[in-house]
Amino acid sequence: MSSHRAGRSAAAALAVALAATAVAGCASADKHQTSTTAKNAAATQNASNSSAMSGMNMGGSAVASQVPSVNGIKPVASQVLATADWQGMKIQARTMTPTSFVIFDGTGHETLDKATKHDSFHLMIMLNDAHTDEPIAYATVWATIINGAGKTVFSERQWPMNSAYMGPHYGNNVPHIAPGRYTLKLLVSPPVDGRHLEYAHVWLKQHEVIEHFTWKPAT
């Protein structure tokens, strides 16, 4: 009798173990299926997002292949036209895209100088201290551009300018000039300012910079 009861107990224990294994297997299968479904959904969403982002043209290559313009003004590649050193003053002339600016006369009046699609470039003259690399203010700069035939095509003051994206410089817009070889003359007058003693004996006379450059406008 005791042997019979022991047999039934063993059979019951085996049945419970089998049932537990089956439940565990089902749970694992459900968990695997849920994980696979989630991964598939994520992959589908990512593919959808990638397709949408490619439609937004967020990459730089497509944009770079075009030459956009604003009010007919095309961007101008920055080109160094001249570099010189004058008693520790670094002088650099370079081109930028023509830009509108205002001239303030100190009495509350501003005059707008509006860039046009016919302008060739914005001429920037940077004067920097070779020791500190800080911009040098209170100077006067005059720029003259002469073509290959010896004709003066531009002769204007370079205005002292503040710019959030170009930095302090002396600048002006240069009207249309044809592609070709040119001579740039810069006349830099001494800064009119108070000076610490280390600057007492420099930049006391006008300084002229003469350089040659080739102008090729963007197409």
Domain that holds residue 109: 80-215
71 assigned to some structural domain:
no
Q: What is the pLDDT of residue 73?
A: 72
pLDDT of residue 68: 56
Residue 167 structure tokens? 């930095």
Where does the chain have alpha helices with state H? 2-55, 60-64
Residue 191 shares a structural domain with residue 122: yes
CB 184, CB 144: distance < 8 Å: yes
Chunked mean pLDDT (size 10), the chain, 219 residues: 47 45 46 49 46 34 45 77 96 95 94 94 97 97 98 98 92 96 98 96 97 86
Task: Report the C-alpha gap between 114 and 215 in whole angstroms.
Answer: 22
- The pTM of the full predicted model, rounded to 2 decimals, is 0.67
Asked if the structure places residue 66 within a domain, the reply is no
Residues 141 and 93 reside in one and the same domain = yes
The number of domains in the chain is 2
Straight-line distance from the first to the last Cα atom of the chain, in angstroms, rounded to the nearest whole number: 107
